[in-house]
Amino acid sequence: MRLVVLLVALVGARDCGQDELNAHDISGCVSLTHMKLLGHGGAVWLAEALHNNSDLEILDLHHTKVGDTDALALADGLRNNRVLRRLALHNNKIRDAGAAAIGAALAENSALEFLSLSSNGVSDRGLAGIAVGLRGNSALRRLDLYFNLVGDVGASALADALTAGSSLRMVHLDSNTVGDEGARALATAVNGGAPLGELTLSYNRLKNGGAEALVAAAKESKAMHTLTLDHNQMVGGEALRKVQQSTDELKPRQELARWLVEAELAEWMGASGPPLLSPFAAPVRELQAHTRSGLLDLRHMDEAQLTAHAALADLTADERAKLASVVLRKVREAVGSAHDEL
């Protein structure tokens, strides 16, 4: 009986768009993507449809002229929604009131993992409102706010939410007006253990002090694999050298994180943290299994030998078996590739 129900659900699942919105029917829609114009009536209806919706996982409303009143309606629909995972609202006309309303909804939402409000008109007050919601939220993993009007006050509010235990793994604040105060606040949050894997602040107003604080925090972080501070024109001299050096120093972390995700041993936005906090990160790093040369060095080991390797000692028996299986598969691929090149 359970199999029949599952098959019915799979058959009914569909990707939807403007036609379904016009028909006021998103039953069975797992995604609703990029309509040309939403309209306030459409936003209100869609918000009502989101209440207790059990199907829709992806809602992409970018470049649909969504404004604050529309965002307020959609925020109300998010409050008791337990399914929607991705909400894309970039390239719209959302300002602080709409952003703050969505932030308030986050405090009552336990499903949304990715929120994009990039290329709107969100300033400090809007991000501060989002930050308030994040304090009571354990689901959101990625926040995109590039090309907005966020400055030090907003960045500091976000840093406070990160310090208070926000579950964010990725934050993108490129092309805003964040300066040293906001940068130092974010650095303090990272130093305090905020599990950020990725933080981008290119094209802002950082100066030497803020840039150096972030570089130092990233270096000490066990979670961070990506820090982007390019094109902050007031960063120069020794601070600029440290920023450039940090980019090079983080590349091995990025490679390890990418390998773990591709090997399905971690997730970019996993509930347990960014890839570098995966229990598999340390043994893979020690074995250098994420590099071709490291894999080739392991080619003479069998499953029993690899499972018993000291690098895997801190893993559970199931974790050791899983990692050994993945690594040996990767070893076979590396050996095959090496033979093809001869």
* Predicted confidence (pLDDT) per residue in 281-305, tens digit: 999 999 999 999 999 999 999 999 9
Q: Are 83 and 109 in contact (CB under 8 A)?
A: no
Q: Are residues 27 and 112 in the same domain?
A: yes
Cβ atoms within 10 Å, residue 233: 10
3-state secondary structure of 171: strand
Q: Is the pLDDT of residue 12 over 70?
A: no
Residue 201 CA to residue 155 CA, distance in Å, equals 10
Q: Are residues 232 and 315 in the same domain?
A: no
Q: Are 116 and 144 in contact (CB under 8 A)?
A: yes
Q: Are residues 312 and 237 in the same domain?
A: no
Query: Quick one: DSSP state of residue 334?
Result: H
The CA–CA distances, whole Å, from 271 to 110, 113, 140 equal 12, 10, 10
Q: Is the dihedral of CA 100, 103, 108, 112 positive or negative?
A: positive
Which residues, in sequence order, are CB contacts of 125 under 8 Å at separation 6+?
Answer: 96, 100, 154
Q: Are residues 293 and 246 in the same domain?
A: no
Residue 101 CA to residue 78 CA, distance in Å, equals 10
Confidence of residue 37 (pLDDT cuts 50, 70, 90): confident
Q: Are residues 173 and 91 in the same domain?
A: yes
Q: Are 185 and 214 in contact (CB under 8 A)?
A: no
Tell me the per-residue pLDDT of 210-248, one tens digit each, with 9 for 90 and over.
999 999 999 999 999 999 999 999 999 999 999 999 999
Q: Could you tell me if residue 65 is inside a domain?
A: yes
Radius of gyration of the chain (CA): 23
Q: Are residues 103 and 237 in the same domain?
A: yes
The CA–CA distances, whole Å, from 294 to 35, 101, 289 equal 48, 50, 5
Residue 334 CA to residue 312 CA, distance in Å, equals 21
Q: Could you tell me if residue 272 is inside a domain?
A: no
pLDDT at position 2, please?
40
Domain that holds residue 322: 279-341
Q: Could you tell me if residue 111 is inside a domain?
A: yes
Q: In the predicted model, what is the mean pLDDT of residues 45-70?
A: 93
Q: Are 253 and 175 in contact (CB under 8 A)?
A: no
Q: Are residues 39 and 100 in the same domain?
A: yes
Q: Could you tell me if residue 74 is inside a domain?
A: yes
Residue 245 CA to residue 114 CA, distance in Å, equals 30
Confidence of residue 154 (pLDDT cuts 50, 70, 90): very high
Residues facing 33 on adjacent strands: 60
Q: Could you tell me if residue 260 is inside a domain?
A: no
Q: Are 307 and 320 in contact (CB under 8 A)?
A: yes
pLDDT at position 39, please?
84
Confidence of residue 11 (pLDDT cuts 50, 70, 90): very low
Domain boundary among 195, 230, 250: 250
Q: Are residues 70 and 180 in the same domain?
A: yes
Supply the CATH number for residue 232's domain.
3.80.10.10
Tokens of 296: 């080739």
3-state secondary structure of 237: helix
Which residues, in sequence order, are CB contacts of 9 under 8 Å at separation 6+?
Answer: none
Q: Could you tell me if residue 36 is inside a domain?
A: yes
Q: Are residues 56 and 167 in the same domain?
A: yes
Residue 276 CA to residue 226 CA, distance in Å, equals 11
Q: What is the largest CA-CA distance in the chain?
A: 69
Tally of domains in the chain: 2
Q: Classify the phi-psi angles of 282: left when phi > 0, otherwise alpha if psi is within -120 to 50, otherwise beta.
A: alpha
Domain boundary among 250, 265, 288: 250
Tell me the per-residue pLDDT of 163-216, one tens digit each, with 9 for 90 and over.
998 899 999 999 999 999 999 999 999 999 999 999 999 999 999 999 999 999
Q: Is the pLDDT of residue 338 over 90?
A: no
Residue 60 CA to residue 17 CA, distance in Å, equals 9
Q: Is the pLDDT of residue 276 over 50?
A: yes
Q: Could you tell me if residue 274 is inside a domain?
A: no
Q: Are residues 199 and 302 in the same domain?
A: no
Q: Could you tell me if residue 7 is inside a domain?
A: no
Domain boundary among 204, 230, 250: 250
Q: Are residues 219 and 318 in the same domain?
A: no
- Can you count the helices (H) and strands (E) in the chain? 14, 9
Q: Are residues 223 and 336 in the same domain?
A: no
Query: Which segment of 22-26, 228-232, 311-315 scores lowest on mean pLDDT?
Result: 22-26
